[in-house]
C-alpha cells in the first residue's frame, strides 16, 4: 500500500529524535532538516519521480509501489540528489551509495522508525487511499478553508 508522510510543522519541537531514529535504523539519516523541521522523500509516483528518471544506471527501482535505491547498482553520480525537488536523498558513505526514505518498508517495522520516535506526534503516515477518500468527502475549497483554520489555530 502506497503511503505518504505528513509533517505537522507547527508541533515540531526540533528535538531531532526522528532523525536520530532513522540514523539508528539505517546507518544514515534518510531524512534531512530544513530550518527547523524534518523533510522526507515525497514518495513520488514511480513513473514520474525525478530521481529515478535521471539515474543513468537505473539504480532507483520500484519495490511494492515505492522507490528504493539498489546500493549495488548506484555509482554515486549524485544526479538523483540534484533532481530531487526537496533534496531528500543522502549519501551512505559506508554503503557507498545514495539513500532515500522508504518509510522503513524494507524492515519488519509496523511504523517507520521516525514516526515511532516522535514524541510530539508531528509525523503522520497516510495511505493514498485515505487521502483519496478525504478528497471525495470534501471539496477542494473545503480542504483549503480547513487548512487555513488549522494554520490560524481557529
- CA distance linking residue 23 with residue 7, whole number of Å: 18
Cβ-count burial 80-90 (b if 16+ within 10 Å, e if not): bbebbeeebbb
- CA distance linking residue 117 with residue 17, whole number of Å: 6
What are the sequence ranges of the domains in the chain? 3-127
Bridge partners of 123, per DSSP, are 7
Give residue 154's pLDDT.
42
Q: How far is Cα of residue 68 from the mean position of the Cα atoms in its chain?
A: 12
Of the candidates 45, 43, 22, the one whose C-alpha atom is nearest the C-alpha of residue 32 is 22
> pLDDT tens digits for the chain (154 residues)?
577 788 888 888 888 999 999 999 999 999 888 777 888 888 888 889 999 999 999 999 988 778 899 999 999 999 999 999 988 899 999 889 999 999 998 888 889 999 999 998 888 887 777 767 766 766 666 766 665 665 555 4
What pTM was computed for the model?
Answer: 0.76
Query: At CA 116, angle to CA 112 and CA 103, rounded to 5?
Result: 10
Burial class (CB in 10 A: 0-12, 13-18, 19+), 116: middle
Fold of 3-127: Alpha-Beta Plaits (3.30.70)
Amino acid at each position: 500500500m502506497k503511503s505518504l508522510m505528513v509533517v505537522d510543522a507547527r508541533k515540531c519541537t526540533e528535538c531531532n529524535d526522528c532523525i536520530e531514529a532513522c540514523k539508528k535504523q539505517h546507518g544514515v539519516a534518510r531524512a534531512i532538516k530544513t530550518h527547523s523541521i524534518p523533510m522526507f522523500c515525497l514518495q513520488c509516483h514511480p513513473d514520474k519521480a525525478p530521481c529515478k528518471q535521471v539515474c543513468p544506471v537505473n539504480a532507483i527501482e520500484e519495490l511494492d509501489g515505492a522507490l528504493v535505491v539498489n546500493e549495488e547498482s548506484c555509482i554515486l553520480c549524485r544526479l538523483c540528489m540534484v533532481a530531487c525537488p526537496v533534496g531528500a536523498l543522502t549519501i551512505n558513505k559506508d554503503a557507498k551509495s545514495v539513500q532515500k526514505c522508504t518509510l522503513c518498508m524494507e524492515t519488519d517495522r509496523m511504523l517507520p522508525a521516525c514516526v515511532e520516535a516522535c514524541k510530539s506526534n508531528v509525523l503522520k503516515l497516510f495511505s493514498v487511499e485515505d487521502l483519496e477518500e478525504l478528497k471525495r468527502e470534501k471539496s477542494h475549497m473545503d480542504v483549503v478553508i480547513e487548512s487555513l483554520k488549522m494554520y490560524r489555530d481557529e
